[in-house]
Chains A and B, each alone.
Chain A
Amino acid sequence: MSARDKKLELEGLTVSFDGFKALNNLTLSVDPGELLCIIGPNGAGKTTMMDVVTGKTRPDSGTARFGSGNNLLEMSEAEIVAAGVGRKFQKPTVFERLTVFENLELALAGTRSVLKTLRARISPEQDNRINEVLGTIGLSGRRFELGSTLAHGQKQWLEIGMLLMQDPELLLVDEPVAGMTPQEIERTSELLLSLAGEHSVVVVEHDMNFVRSIARRVIVLHEGRVIAEGDMDKVQGDPKVIEVYLGV
């Protein structure tokens, strides 16, 4: 496959914090419609990778391209979002003092400019869309409650809901199932699977059962670089991965 067909293309990314390399010459790519799982021990650089893609952290060197010809490293956070990258954060951050409904309203795809948001009204279609997502994330009954009143798992859902509202081409999902019940985990995997195909999805997760249930291609990160890649079985059998995870 030629490079132009990739949805996301990271090459030689290096990020260091005070000399410590959180990403070390990281290279990976995501195909359109692919669901890619990234695993790796704590501190492997998974979140940092997402930070680079979303413009939160600027790398010391390397390139990051998105879709056809977007150089992510030269774009602001807002521009990256506008180009079609959505992200769910590891630590769920919903707007605590807005209602569930308003949280989704803000995530609604569409205008972001100051003067337009000043006059923005929710159209009936948008209202329907919000209701639909509320149903998907199981929060229909709590739409008027403040974000701060939600349980941890519900916040995770709300974050996923906000991601759905944005309708991005590429979804970066950082540890989506932490704090969820087994049933909820199952629902999440169904949701992510249904999204893949139309969207490209990158999932970071520590829960191996969950990863197994959704994984097609898995990438293992360690000390800021890819140490193994392939399907779940291949990766789990890889001696390097075993060493990293078991610390032999």
Chain B
Amino acid sequence: METLWSPTKTGDRGGKWFLSVLALIAVAAPILNQAVPASSPAHLSAYGITLIGKYLCYGMLALAVDLIWGYCGILSLGHTAFFSLGGYAIGMYLMRQIGTRGVYGDPVLPDFMVFLNWKSLPWFWNGFNHFPFALLMMVVAPGLLALVFGWFAFRSRVTGVYFSIITQALTYALMLAFFRNDMGFGGNNGFTDFKDILGFDLHSDLTRVVLLITTVATLAATYLACRTIVESRAGRVLHAIRDAESRTRFLGYPVESFKVYVFVFSAVIAGIAGALYVPQIGIINPGEFAPINSIEVVIWVAVGGRGTLYGAIAGAVVVNYAKTYLTGAFPEVWLYAVGALFVLVTLFLPRGIIGLVQTRTKR
């Protein structure tokens, strides 16, 4: 129908590109790792696989932030809280999988509990020996937190910078809490030394490849889900809220409900991203909650180009690749480079890298 054309429905050319790249990774990475011999320069090492997986998890986190920031104008400076909660949920499962292989060899208690002289598993650890339960919690924990937090905040009409700052307070408070040994999440050290997932050795190349493919598939699925949302009428309501919140309200839309829904959905995506991240990286600790990390995510989105979804993912990958490369090659330069990048992007590329690419291709 001709009348349904609109700029928010661009036919999603960028999205198609993005999905093609994902497909390419899903096909090429396993081949380069499994079929190409390690001696060949084309071989993709386990390290490389993990690195790609890590970038894609970050991409997913950026996607979650872009959905609420780029489309609904909600700037969360605490999204790593949800990411970390998802990570901790799967981390608890992985810890319980260790079983007697831990340093202390306790069949039930993780090492840090034995170390702290705990006699039994705290109640909230029950169930985490079952993988489906952990999967459920990776969604429920961040989702529930977002629901409660969002419901209170949005209902009270906490908006703009006030909202941003209390999200920061939220993740900061969680960080401090998780640092405490008494919380039962391993304190400072968090969880590490994982052995296997669903019985598969986490250190084997094949498991890593499978995890990568899972990440790729999940990212594609969440991307499509987000795309569907933003292209629906609800997506246009989100746009409307971003542009003129009170006007939207006077059109009769329950603005608060829209915000709560999209916020919870975004938090769940972040939680899933965290849950995919932890088994690949092999560690989760309270440092992940640090507010500075959340700000960095926002920066990825801005660099990539907000309000495009794929731009956010591209931003996450580009910035993190640059970080990996520069911190290795020129540690001195890294912070100068990022610092300058943020300044320049906001000043000269308000629509991010994607905006730049779009203007180029239109010409």
A–B: direct contact at CB < 8 Å: yes
A contacts, CB < 8 Å to B: 54, 56, 76-78, 81-82, 87, 89, 93-99, 101-102, 105-107, 112-114, 117-120, 122, 127, 130-131, 143-144, 146-147, 162, 166
Nearest-neighbour CB distance to chain A for B10, whole angstroms, equals: 13
| Inter-chain contact A112/B234, CB cutoff 8 Å | no
Nearest-neighbour CB distance to chain A for B247, whole angstroms, equals: 4
| Inter-chain contact A98/B232, CB cutoff 8 Å | no
| Inter-chain contact B3/A114, CB cutoff 8 Å | no
Residue of B nearest to A130 (CB): B3
Nearest-neighbour CB distance to chain B for A139, whole angstroms, equals: 13
Instruction: Name 24 A/B residue pairs within 8 A (Cβ), A-sorted.
Output: A54-B250, A78-B249, A78-B252, A89-B250, A93-B244, A93-B247, A94-B244, A95-B239, A95-B243, A95-B244, A97-B243, A98-B236, A98-B239, A102-B6, A106-B237, A107-B251, A117-B237, A117-B253, A118-B232, A120-B233, A122-B3, A127-B1, A143-B3, A166-B252
Contacts of A98 on B, CB cut-off 8 Å?
6, 8, 236, 239-240, 243
A81 to B254, CA, bound (A): 10
Nearest-neighbour CB distance to chain B for A78, whole angstroms, equals: 5
Over the window 114-140 of chain B, the binary record of Cβ atoms lying under 8 Å from chain A Cβ atoms (1 yes, 0 no) is: 000000000000000000000000000
Which of the listed residues B237, B240, B251 has the most CB atoms from chain A within 10 Å of its own CB? B251
Nearest-neighbour CB distance to chain B for A85, whole angstroms, equals: 9
Contacts of A99 on B, CB cut-off 8 Å?
6-7
Query: Do A106 and B243 contact each other (CB < 8 Å), given the known contacts A101-B6, A114-B257, A114-B258?
Result: no
Nearest-neighbour CB distance to chain A for B83, whole angstroms, equals: 24
Chain B residues touching A, range: 20 to 34
Contacts of B242 on A, CB cut-off 8 Å?
97
B261 within 8 A of A: yes
Question: Could you say which of A78, A122, A127 contacts B254, with CB atoms under 8 Å apart?
Answer: A78
A201 to B7, CA, bound (A): 35
Contacts of A93 on B, CB cut-off 8 Å?
244, 246-247
Query: Do A106 and B8 contact each other (CB < 8 Å), given the known contacts A98-B240, A166-B251?
Result: no
| Inter-chain contact B239/A117, CB cutoff 8 Å | no
Which of the listed residues A56, A95, A162 has the most CB atoms from chain B within 10 Å of its own CB? A95
A101 to B1, CA, bound (A): 13
B42 within 8 A of A: no
Q: Which 3 A-B pairs have the closest CB atoms?
A: A81-B252, A117-B234, A118-B234
Residue of A nearest to B240 (CB): A95
Question: Could you say which of B244, B246, B254 contacts A113, with CB atoms under 8 Å apart?
Answer: B254
